[in-house]
Amino acid sequence: MDVRALIREEVLAQRAYPVETTPCRIKLDANENPLAIPPRLRERFAKLLASIDLNRYPEAGSVALASRFAAAFGVKADQVIIGNGSDELIQILCAALARPGAEVIIPVPTFAMYRISALNSGLRVAAVPLDKEFDLDLPALQEQLAAHPPALTFLAWPNNPTGNCFSRERIEAILKAASGIVVVDEAYFHFSGKTFLPEIDRYENLVILRTLSKVGLAAMRIGLLIGPPVLVHELHKVRLPYNLNALSQAAAGFYLDQEEAFLQQAAQIRGWRGELFSALAALPGIHPRPTDANFIFFSCDFDADRVYKHLMERGILIKNFNSLGTMRGYMRITVGTREENQEFLDALRDIIEK
């Protein structure tokens, strides 16, 4: 039997989401928080997890948790749905909105999962290149919106991998022009401090995504969607009944109880980001782009593959975009601890001086 003949063409044509698995000493490739939960909280966290009845299903739909996050966001409980990472919420949105022939608009380059989830749901993807400053190309987007009104538009704010926030006015213009849902993905909110949350009741088509992955709980897979109640109601039908496991639900509650500690870490990372940016900018042939996230996108005048390989040999893993035609010469480094950043800078200096 030819199993491949049974699989949808869009799936066959894809490559699985690339995750680098090479062991490394210093991991700066996945935009994680480099810091563990503060030692003074670790025991309390361990006790909380140990108290969970693992023989029982978790609360279906994480309803209690959604209410707590809604209160924290200043919205109503029926405006929030929690996912197994924001990845799952992207998948749920795509699955719910994939009517026959429906389209998704994504500016490119951007976060890979928008395209992957859209294609897997049978949606058509219209990719609109960013302008030279990595901002939204508003005329091109408006043309696309008018020619093929999409069911969904994904805007990562700040954008991954470029690191910048698109200009607010352009996003507002898209919110006004789009008849479909516009997702403003604020995965890096803790490092940008910018949000569309106060606009949530102003635009019927606005959906905001948040995650706890970048602020310290990537392993727990906790994503949040804030949107109009009528949409959230439908999305609940698409999610799996127990999409968020009991340990993750408890971890999300713990985050809310101890948010200050996590926010302090984010502030520390923002400080390290500034230092890393200045040091990169001072290196000859290295051109970091302005960033509002916990990573820095930079181009280098040297062979990026060689730089990447040499860093790997020194046990330092970053993300290399060189093989993607439009991003030749570009790499992305997650902001690590001050010591990790220093090791990276020392290694980079050695490589480019060779």
Ligand X SMILES: Cc1ncc(COP(=O)(O)O)c(C=O)c1O
Segment interacting with ligand X, rule: CB under 6 A, options 79-87, 129-137, 145-153, 314-322: 79-87
Residue of the chain from 187, 232, 300, 316 that contacts ligand X (CB under 6 A): 187
User: At its nearest, how many Å lie between ligand X and the CB of residue 35?
Assistant: 17
Task: Report in angstroms how near the CB of residue 218 gets to ligand X at its nearest.
Answer: 6
Task: Print the binding letters for residues 83-112 with ligand X: x by CB under 6 A, - otherwise.
Answer: --xxx-----------------------x-
Name the token pair of 62.
């994480």
Is the C-alpha dihedral spanning 67, 73, 78, 83 positive or negative? negative
For the chain, the first-to-last Cα distance in angstroms comes to 55
Residue 5 CB, nearest approach to ligand X (Å): 32
- Nearer of residues 101 and 129 to ligand X, judged by Cβ: 129
* Least distance to ligand X, CB of residue 310, Å: 25
Residues within window 131-170 making contact with ligand X, judged by CB under 6 A: 156, 160
Residues 201 to 220 in contact with ligand X, rule: CB under 6 A: 211, 213, 218
Nearer to ligand X by Cβ, of 187 and 348: the residue is 187
Least separation in angstroms between residue 349's CB and ligand X is 28
Between 85 and 109, CB nearer to ligand X: 85
Query: What is the x/- site pattern for ligand X, positions 27-46, by CB under 6 A?
Result: ----x---------------
What distance in Å separates the CA atoms of residue 220 and residue 83, rounded to the nearest whole number? 11
Least CB distance from residue 125 to ligand X, whole Å? Answer: 16
Is 223 near ligand X (CB under 6 A)?
A: yes
Pick 58 or 109: Cβ nearer ligand X: 109
Span near ligand X by CB under 6 A; candidates 65-73, 81-89, 305-313, 341-349: 81-89
Task: Please state the closest distance from residue 32 (CB atom) to ligand X, in A.
Answer: 9
The least CB distance from residue 88 to ligand X, in Å, is 7
Please say which residue, 86 or 144, places its beta carbon nearer to ligand X: 86
3-state secondary structure the chain: CCHHHHCCHHHHCCCCCCCCCCCCCEECCCCCCCCCCCHHHHHHHHHHHHCCCCCCCCCHHHHHHHHHHHHHHCCCHHHEEEEEHHHHHHHHHHHHHCCCCCEEEEEECCCHHHHHHHHHCCCEEEEEECCCCCCCCHHHHHHHHHHCCCCEEEEECCCCCCCCCCCHHHHHHHHHHCCCEEEEECCCHHHHCCCCHHHCCCCCCEEEEEECHHHHHHHHCEEEEECCHHHHHHHHHHCCCCCCCHHHHHHHHHHHHCHHHHHHHHHHHHHHHHHHHHHHHCCCCEEECCCCCCEEEEEECCCHHHHHHHHHHCCEECEECCCCHHHCCEEEEECCCHHHHHHHHHHHHHHHHC
| Least spacing, CB of residue 260 vs ligand X, in Å | 21
Distance CA 308, CA 306 (A): 5
Q: Which stretch binds ligand X (CB under 6 A): 82-90, 270-278, 309-317, 328-336?
A: 82-90
C-beta closer to ligand X: residue 88 or 343: 88
Residue 111 or 191 with smaller CB distance to ligand X: 111
Treating both helix axes as pointing N-terminal to C-terminal, what angle do 246-257 and 39-50 enclose, rounded to 10 degrees?
140
Interacting residues toward ligand X by CB under 6 A: 31, 85-87, 111, 156, 160, 185, 187, 211, 213, 218, 223
